[in-house]
Structure 1
Amino acid sequence: MNSELFYSLTCNAALLLSLGLIYDLFQQDQRRAATSFKQLGFGILIGLVALVLMATPARWVGDIIFDTRTILLSLTGLFFGPLPTLAAMAIAAAYRISLGGSGMLMGVATILVAGGLGLAWRHWRWRQKQEPTVGDLYLFGMVVHLGMIACMPLLPPNLRGTTFRTLTLPILILYPVATALLGHLLASRQRRQRIEAELHRSEGLHRSILQTAMDGIWRVDRQGRLIEVNDAYCRMSGYRKEELLTLTVPDLDANQNATEVAAHIDQAMTEEKIRFESRHRRKDGTLFDVEVSVQSLAFAGGQCVAFLRDITARKQAEEELRLSRQQYRDLVEGTPDLITRVDTAGRFIFVNHAAESIFGPAPAECLGRSSFEFIHPADRAATEAAFAAWLGSGEDLFICENRQVGRDGREHHMTWSIRAERGRRGKITGFAGTGRDITAMKHAETERSRLENQLQQAQRRESLGVLAGGIAHDFNNILMAILGNADLALTRLSPESPALDNLRQIETAARRAADLAGQMLAYSGRGRFVIEPIGLNRLIEEMTHILRVSISKKAVLRFVGSPELPSVEGDATQLRQIVMNLVINASEAIGDRSGVISVSTGLQTCDHAYLRGATLGEELPAGDYACIEVADTGCGMDAHTLAHLFEPFFSTKFTGRGLGMAATLGIVRGHKGAIQVYSEVGKGTTFKVLLPATSRAAAPAASPEDQAPWHGEGTILLVDDEEVIRTVGREMLEELGYQVLVAEDGREALTLFRERQREIQCVLMDLTMPHMDGEQAFRELRQIDPGVRVIITSGYSEQEVSQKFLGKGLAGFLQKPFRISTLRDTLRRLETPVSHDQTAGAARDE
C-alpha cells in the first residue's frame, strides 16, 4: 500500500468521523421533532460527505476507485433512518455515475447494497428493541462488505480476478473493523443523547410535579436550610419563593426547634422515610396544620425532600367529627329513652345505656339477642302482627306501645317510635328505634282515673246527700204535724176509745217514716250524733241478741272481739245502725242457703296508700284505726254492684229501699272514717269499717231517767213558718201547762219578744224560715236579752245545727218530728242550771 493510498484512507477516516458530528446535530433535531425537510437536509449533508469520500479515493487500477462510502452509507441507514439514507444514496450514486469508468456499475451497486443493508439492519434492530453491541456492529460490517465483494462480478472481466484476489482479504479485515468502531462511536453518542433526553424529560417532569403539586414540597440540607420550594408551599405560607430560600425549617415550624429538626433529618437519613404532623407559621403569623413526609435523597449528599400537606381543613373536620360524635354520644347515652338499632332479623346491633335500667343486662350483653325476647308474652303476638302490617304498608314510621319485661321480672310500659334503615337501592337493612318508659305515666294515669272516679263518686254522693238531706228536712216537717197530732190524740183519748188502735198505727207509720228520713239524713252526713267514747266490743255484744233474731234462720252469726281494743269517738246509736245494716245485708246475701256471718273487731295501722284504696279514705290521716269487719259466705257482688253499692235507692232486692248502705256510708263519713269492701261472686263479701281510734275511755252505761209525771208553767214563744207545726206545737205546749205565743218568722218573733220579754220564759224556734231565719233571730234575741233561753227545732240533725251555735249559749235542740214526751223532757231539763249545761254540752261536735 503506497503513500497515496495511505493518504486517501486517512482522509476517508477523517471524513467518516465527521459523521459523528452530523449525528449529534441530527439527534438534537430529533428531540425538537425534526420535520421531513430537515431530515432531507441531513441526507444531503451526508451525501456531500460521500462525494468528498469519493473525490479522495484510493485508486486501484485505471479508473477503479475504492473508498469508505460503504461504511458511511451503511451506518447512515442504520442510525439515521430512511429519508436521510435515501438522499445520501441518491447523491452518491449520481456522483459515481457522473465519474463513469469501468468500475461504475460495481460502484453504484455497492452504494445501493450498503444503504439497503443499513436500512434493513435498522428495521431488524428496532423490532428487537435492543441497542447494538460492538459484536453486532462488526457482524453488520462483515455483512455489508460481503455484499460489496458480491458486487465485484460487475467489474470488467479482465479486472475481476485480480481485484477479487487482491482486495477481498483487506476489505474483510479492515472495513468490518472500521464499521464496528465508527458504529460503536455513533451508538455511544446515541446512548449518551438518550440519557440526556431522559434526564431532560425527568427534569421537566420534576419541575412539572414540583410546580403543579397540590402539596408543598421542600428540599432541605442537613442544617435544615431550604434549598428548593414549590409554588404550593408559597401559597400555603404566604411567602415568596425568594423569601423562603433564606429561611430554615425552625423559622417555619412552630412545634420544633433546631435540635428537633436535626433529629428528624437524622431519622430520615436512617429510616429513609418518616411521617409526622406539625404546625407551621405563615408570614402573617397565623398557624396551620401540616402533615410532613420526609425522605432522604441518598444521591444528593445528605439532603432530604419533604412533602407538606395542609391538613387544617382535615383537622377542623376531625374536630367537628369528634364534637359531633361526642354530642351524639352525650345525646344517646344521656337520654333516659331507650335507643336501639336492630338488623333485619330483629337482633340488637346497638343499644344505649338506658337498656340496662329496662332490660337488666348491660348494653354489650344485649347485642345479638332478639328484640322480641324482652316483650311481655301477652303483648308479643300483637306487637309482631302490628310490625308486620307496618312493613307491608310502606309507611315511614311505626309507633306502638307494649310492655317489656326485664331480667328482674319488672314490667315496663314502653312507647316505641321505629324507622326502617334502607340501603342505596331502597332495600331495608335494619331498623332504628326509640323507646320511652311510660310506666310512671301509666301509673299516674291509673291514679288520676282512680282519683277522678273517687271525685265523681264523692260529688255524686255529695249531690245525693244534699238532695236526701233536703227531702228529709221537708219530710220531717210534714211528719211533725202527723206525729204531733197523733201523739196529742193518744194523750187525750180514753183507753176505751175505738180510735186508739188507729192512732197507734198512724204513730207507728209516722215513726217508720221518721226512721226513713233519719237514714236519708245519715247518708247526707246530717244525722243526729251524740259524740262520746265508745267501746266497739261492748256495743256489738249488747246487740248480739237483736242481731241473731234479725238474720236468716240458716245463717250462723259469729262474733270475735279483739282484746284491748281502743275506743272510738262517735254516736252509739249511729254505730249500732252501721252494724245492723251490714249484718242484715250479709244475711240477705246468704238468702235461703246456709252460711256464716262473721263480725269481728280489731286495730289496724293504716298508711296513706291503704287509705286511698278505701271509700272515703282519700283525705284521712295515716294512723291507728279501730275496725269493724263483717264477712259473709253469700253470693258476693260483681263490679257493677260494687260501683253503685253506696248510692241511695240502689238495691239488688225487689223489696229493698236502697238506703241501708247509703246511710252506712253517711254515718261513717260523719265519724271521719272509711269503708273497705272485698267481694267475689259466689264466694262472699267482707266489709271493713275503719274508725279513728282514741285514747279516751268509753263511758259507763247510762242509768234510766226518772219518768215521773211533769207539767210546766209560764209563757213560751213558739216560732215556725209552717202553720200546721205552729198549731200542733201550740197544743203540745198547752198540754204541758204552758201559755203560748206564736210567730211565723224571726222578725215577728223579735217584735213579740220586745213587747213581752218579762213574761217569756223560753223561745222554741225553727231554724229555717223566710225573711229572718232562726240563726239570725237567735243573735238578735241575745242582743236584746243575753240570758234568753232558746231551743232550736229543725228537720236537720242536731250535729249539723249545733255547729252553727257552738259556744253561743243555745239552751237545747229538738229534731223534727218529735213527740210530746221528748218536748217535755227537753223543757224539764231547762228547770235546773246543771241540766241546762248538760244539754248545751250534748250538742258538741267531736
Structure 2
Amino acid sequence: MPIQTPDDETKETRDPNNPILPEDLVTPMGLPIAALQELHRLELRNRALINSIPDLMLVLGRDGIFRDFNSSALTRPLVPPDEIIGSNVDSVLPPELSQLAMSLLNDALKNNNVATAEYTIKREGYSGHFEARVTPSGPDEALFIIRNITERKNAERDLLASQQMLRHLVDQSPLAVILWNNEFQALEWNPAAEEIFGYTKEEMSVTRGTLNIVPLRMRPSIEFVFQSLLDQHGGLRSTNENTTKDGQTIYCEWYNSPLLDEDGDTVGVISLVQDVSERVRVEKEHLMMEKQLLETQKLESLGLLAGGIAHDFNNILVGIMGNASLALSEIDPKSDLFCSLQAIERAAMHAADLTRQMLAYSGKGQFVVERINLSRIVEEMLELLKLSISKSAQLDINLVPDLPDFQGDATQIRQVAMNLMINASDALQEKPGTISITTRLTDSNEPFTGRSHPAPATGPGPWLCLEVADTGKGMGPDVCERIFDPFFSTKQTGRGLGLAAVLGIVRSHHGIVRFFSKPNLGTRFQVLFPVTKDEAKPHLNHESNPRAAPPGTNILIIDDDATCLNVTSRILNKAGYTTTCAPGGLEAVVMFSEKPTTFNLVILDLTMPHLNGEQTFVRLRELNPTVSVLITSGYDEQESIQRFSQSDIAGFIHKPFRANDLLRMVQKALARANT
C-alpha cells in the first residue's frame, strides 16, 4: 500500500529497500508525527518542572476562568485541584480574595508588568500568610505565583518583638549600653550613657568619639585594651577612670564583648558600663579606715611595749640613781670615786630621759598640767630656733596672738614644736628654702589630703593647730609609713625616738598629728590640740630642801621590785625614818592590819601583781581611813593619780628619783597629813 511522505514521495509500506521512517508519518492535519512527539515530550518536561516548584501556580483569564494550575500542596487549603480548571474565580475563592485576584490580573495586563500583593487566609484551625506575584502570560491571561510566607512573617514578627524588647531594655537600662565599631565610633549610645558621661549620641558618633570619655593619660592603655578586644585576646572586664563632658572624673566598671561576623572576625564591641564612683569612694574610705586601724593598733602595741620597757627600766634606774645618791652623800667630794659616782648619776639621768621619751611615745609620759597659750610657747622658742636651724633657711612666722589657752604639759609641747622645726630644717639639706610656722584655730572638717594619726579628728572643735611646713626634699610613701616608728630615722646622725615621741605626746594630750609629704614637694605637719575649758590641776611636785625626819616617823614601803624597795628604804633610813618593807600588796595588807595606826605614811607603787596599787590603797583605807599615802610609779603623774580623788593621796613621785627628790616628797606628804 503506497503512502505519500511530506516530501511528496510515494513509498510502499512493504518495500524493504525503501522503508518508511517516523518522519515520513504525518497527522491528519499534516503535522509530522515526530514533531508532535517532541512537542509532547517538552510539555511533559515543563509540566514536571512546574509541578516541582513549591509555589502554587495558576493561570487566570481576563474572563475570571482558571485555565491552568500546578499540583502544589498549597491548593489543599483552598479547593480540590480538579475543581479549579474551568471554574470561575468567584466560585473558588472568598469574595475578598477573588476581588484581589482580578485586581492584580487587570493591573498586570494593563501595565504589562508584575503586580504583587500580600494577603492572609484565616479559616477554622488554619491561618497563613501568602504573597502573590502576577505576570502577563498572554493578551488576556496572567500567571499567578502564590508563595506561602507564613514562616517568614512569623520570623519577622518575632524579630520585631525581639527588637522592640531589646530597644526597651537598652533605653530603660540603668547601665550605659555602648556599641562601638572598629574606629572607636559609637553606633549605639543609650540614655543611661548620656546621663553618666554627659555626651549625646550625636557627639559620640564621630570617629574615635568614645575617646572623649577617656583621660588623656589613660588613652594609650585604653587603646591597647580596645585592640585586645578586637583581637579577642582579653579586655572583657575592667574598672576604669573616665571623664565626663563637664570635666569630672568618675570611676566606671566596663563589661565588654566583641561582636563577630559569620567568618569569626570582630566587627565591633558592645559594652555595658556602670558608674561605680560611689562604690569606689566607699571602698577607698574603708581601706583608709582599715589602714588607720592597723596603724593605730601598731602604735598601741608599740606604745604598750615601750611603756612596759620604760616602767621596768625606771625601776632599774631607781636602784642606780638611789645608790649613786647614797654613795655620793658618804664620799669625800674631792675623791676620784666621787667624780665617778657623779658620772654614774648623770648617765642614769640620761637614761631616765630616754625612758621619758619612751613613755611619751606610749602616751604615758610624765605630765605637768597647766594652762598653755600655743602661740606664746612658739614665740618664746623662736630665738633658740634661729640658732638651731640651717643658716640657709628662711622663717615665715604666722602666729595668731589671741588663741584660747589649752591644758597640757608646756615642756612636752615645746619638745613637739622643736622636733618638728628641727626636722623641717634638716629637710632643707643646707639648701635655701622656707620653713613656715603657723598657729591658728581650725575645724575638724577642714579638708586635708594627707595622713592623720592616730585617727581623723572627730570632735566638733574648735582645735588649736600648730603647722610646720618646709620646702625641702619631702618623703616617699615608704618613709611616710615608718616615720612614727621608734628610733626610725633617715638621718645618719639620727637618735632618740624623734617623731614617735611627738606622736606619743600629742596622743597623751588627746590631739591629732596630720602630715602631707611628697618627694621634691616638701612636707607639712599639723598638730591639733582640743580646746577645753577645764581648769588645770596643780602639779604636786615643788622644789624644796629636805629637812630632818621628825622623830618616830614610821613609813611602810610597798613595791614588788626588790631594788626599788631596798634603795627607797636605805634613803629614808639614812634620813632618820623608820621603814617597813612589803614586797607586794597582799603582804602589805597583812602587815598593816597588825598595826594599822603605827604608820605615819605609806609609799605605794601602783604596778604590782596579785593586788595592784589601787586595790591595795582601798584595803589600807578600810583598815585606817586617815592613813597618808604617797603614790610612786614609772608612769606619768596624771594617769597614775586620776584613779584617786585629789584629796585621797598625799602626793606623787615619779620613778626614777634621786634621794633628795624622795625626801622632799616624803616631807611634803607628812606635812599635808599633819594639817
TM band (smaller chain): 0.7 to 0.9
Please name the residue that 1:656 is paired with.
494
Provide TM-score, normalisation by structure 2: 0.74
Question: Hey, what does 1:745 align to over in structure 2?
Answer: 584
Q: Is the 8 A contact 1:278 1:290 kept in 2?
A: yes
State the SS of the aligned residue for 1:623.
coil
* Deviation for aligned residue 1:342: 2.3
Deviation at 1:772, TM superposition (A): 2.9
Q: 1:683 to 1:204 in 2, by over 3 A?
A: closer
Three-state SS of the structure 1 residue aligned to 2:454 is: coil
Gaps of 5+ in 1: 1-76, 83-89, 91-115, 128-196, 218-226, 231-247, 250-260, 295-308, 837-846
Q: 1:710 aligns with which of 535, 541, 547?
A: 547
* Greater Cα shift, 616-625 or 512-521: 616-625
- Residue number among 620, 639, 643 corresponding to 2:481 in the alignment: 643
CA distance in 2, matches of 1:810, 1:228: 127
Give the structure 2 partner of residue 731 of structure 1.
570
Greater Rg over alpha carbons, structure: 1
**Higher RCO, 1 vs 2 (CA within 8 Å, ≥6 residues apart):** 2
Q: How far does residue 351 in structure 1 lie from its aligned partner after superposition?
A: 2.0
Quick one: structure 1 residues 428 and 737, their matched pair in 2 at CA, closer, same or farther if it must change by over 3 Å?
A: same
Deviations 1:376-406 (A, max 9, x none): 32222233344445545x5587455544333
Q: 1:795 aligns with which of 622, 634, 637?
A: 634
> Does residue 1:362 correspond to 2:207, yes or no?
no
Over residues 610-640 of structure 1, what are the superposed CA-to-partner deviations in whole Å (9 max), with x where a residue is unaligned?
3884232336335321111223455443443
Q: Which shifted more, 581-590 or 503-512? A: 581-590
> 1:407 matched to which residue of 2?
245
Q: Is 1:775 aligned to 2:614, yes or no? A: yes
Cα distance change on mapping 1:503 and 1:425 into 2, 3 Å: closer
Aligned to 1:720: 559
Distance in 2, matches of 1:602 and 1:834, equals: 45
* In structure 1, distance between residues paired with 2:381 and 2:455: 27
2:666 alignment partner, one of 827, 830, 833: 827
Q: 1:2-17 alignment to 2 at 5 Å?
A: none
Higher mean C-alpha displacement, 755-764 vs 486-495: 486-495
Cα distance between partner residues in 2 of 1:509 and 1:268:
124
Q: Is the 8 A contact 1:567 1:698 kept in 2?
A: no
C-alpha distance in 2 between matches for 1:730 and 1:803: 27
- Closer, same or farther: CA 578–212 of 1 in aligned 2, 3 Å: closer
Task: For structure 2, list consecutive stretches of 5 or more residues without a partner in the other structure.
Answer: 7-11, 13-24, 37-59, 80-89, 108-115, 133-146
Relative to structure 1, is the Cα distance of residues 809 and 213 closer, same or farther in structure 2, using a 3 angstrom cutoff? farther
Equivalents in 2 of 1:450, 1:807: separation in Å? 41
The aligned residue for residue 443 of structure 2 is 605
Partner of 2:51: none
Matched ranges for 1:361-380 at <5 A: 361-374=199-212, 375-380=214-219
CA distance in 1, matches of 2:674, 2:473: 51
Return the letter of the residue paired with 1:780. R
Shift in Å, 1:366: 2.1
2:623 match: 784
> What is the alpha-carbon root mean square deviation over aligned residues?
5.0
Is 1:601–1:628's contact at 8 Å kept on the other side of the alignment? yes
Compared CA separation, residues 641 and 203, structure 1 to 2 (3 A)? closer
Which residue number in structure 1 is paired with residue 221 of structure 2?
Answer: 382
Q: For 1:198 and 1:679, how far apart are their aligned partners in 2? A: 99
- C-alpha contact 2:215 2:241 (8 A) present in aligned 1: yes
Structure 2 Cα separation of the partners of residues 835 and 356 of structure 1: 86
| Separation in structure 1 between the aligned mates of residue 651 and residue 370 of structure 2, nearest angstrom | 18
Counterpart residue identity of residue 652, structure 2: F
Hey, what does 1:512 align to over in structure 2?
350
Conserved 8 A contact 2:179-2:188: yes
The CA distance in 1 between the partners of 2:176 and 2:674, in whole Å, is: 76
Counterparts in 2 of 1:75-90, with a 5 A limit?
A: none
Q: Where in structure 2 are the equivalents of 1:137-156 lying within 5 Å?
A: none
Judged with a 3 Å threshold, the aligned counterparts in structure 2 of structure 1 residues 198 and 562 are, in CA distance, closer, same or farther, namely closer
For residues 579-602 of structure 1, the C-alpha deviation after alignment (integer angstroms, 9 at most, x for no partner) is 122223334444555665443211
Does residue 625 of structure 1 match 2:463? Answer: yes
Alignment check: 8 A CA contact 2:369 2:539 kept? no
One-letter identity of the residue aligned with 1:673: G
Query: Where in structure 2 are the equivalents of 1:272-421 lying within 5 Å?
Result: 324-374=162-212, 375-388=214-227, 391-392=230-231, 395=233, 398-399=236-237, 402-421=240-259
Q: Structure 1 420/497 Cα, relative in aligned 2: closer, same or farther at 3 Å?
A: closer
- Corresponding letter in the other structure for 1:823: L
Q: Answer yes or no: is the 8 Å Cα contact 1:555–1:587 preserved in 2.
A: yes
Asked if the contact 1:673/1:692 (under 8 Å) is kept, the reply is: yes
Please name the residue that 1:674 is paired with: 512
CA–CA distance in structure 1, aligned partners of residues 388 and 563 of structure 2: 37
Aligned partner of 1:455 among 259, 283, 293: 293
Q: CA deviation at 1:702?
A: 9.7
**What SS class does the counterpart of residue 587 from structure 2 fall into?**
helix
Change (3 A) 1:785 1:289: farther
TM-superposed CA distance for 1:556, in Å, is 6.0
AA of the residue aligned to 2:343: Q
In structure 1, distance between residues paired with 2:119 and 2:530: 82
Structure-1 separation of matches of 2:92 and 2:643: 107
Does the Cα contact within 8 Å between 2:512 and 2:528 map onto a contact in 1?
A: yes
Question: Residue 453 of structure 1 aligns to which amino acid in structure 2?
Answer: K
Q: 1:691 offset after TM fit, Å? A: 1.3
After TM superposition, the structure 1 = structure 2 runs for residues 13-52 of structure 1, keeping only pairs within 5 Å, are none
* Equivalent residue, structure 1, for 2:597: 758
What's the TM-score once normalised by structure 1's chain length? 0.60
Contact 1:372 1:380 in 2 (8 A): no
Secondary structure, aligned partner of 2:307: helix
Give the Cα separation in 2 of the matches to 1:460 and 1:428: 53
Question: Are residues 344 and 584 of structure 1, via their aligned partners in 2, closer, same or farther at CA, if it must alter by over 3 Å?
Answer: closer
Q: Tell me the residue number matched to 1:574.
A: 412
Following superposition, the deviation at residue 278 of structure 1 comes to 11
Please, which moves more after superposition, 780-789 or 609-618?
609-618
The CA distance in 2 between the partners of 1:690 and 1:665, in whole Å, is 11
SS in structure 2 of the partner of residue 754 of structure 1: helix
Query: Retained in 2: the 8 A contact 1:400–1:416?
Result: yes
Partner residue in 2 for 1:132: none
Identity of aligned residues (%): 37
1:27-83 per-position Cα deviation (integer Å, ceiling 9, x unaligned): xxxxxxxxxxxxxxxxxxxxxxxxxxxxxxxxxxxxxxxxxxxxxxxxxx9xxxx9x
> Which one has a larger percent helix, Structure 1 or Structure 2?
1
Paired residue type of 2:167 = R
Match of 1:694 in 2: 532
CA shift at 1:690, angstroms? 1.3
Q: Which residue of 2 aligns with 1:304?
A: none
Letter in 2 for 1:721: D
Residue 15 of structure 1 is matched in structure 2 by none
Of 363-372 and 756-765, more deviation after overlay is shown by 363-372
User: What is the CA distance between 1:677 and its match in structure 2?
Assistant: 2.3
Q: Which secondary structure state, in structure 2, belongs to the residue aligned with residue 361 of structure 1?
A: coil
CA–CA distance in structure 1, aligned partners of residues 173 and 589 of structure 2? 76
Q: Is the 8 A contact 1:630 1:686 kept in 2?
A: yes
Contact 2:571/2:659 (<8 A) preserved: yes
Deviation at 1:212, TM superposition (A): 5.2
Contact kept, 8 Å, 2:371 with 2:405, in 1: the verdict is: yes
Deviations 1:391-427 (A, max 9, x none): 45x5587455544333222234445443333333444
2:141 matched residue in structure 1: none
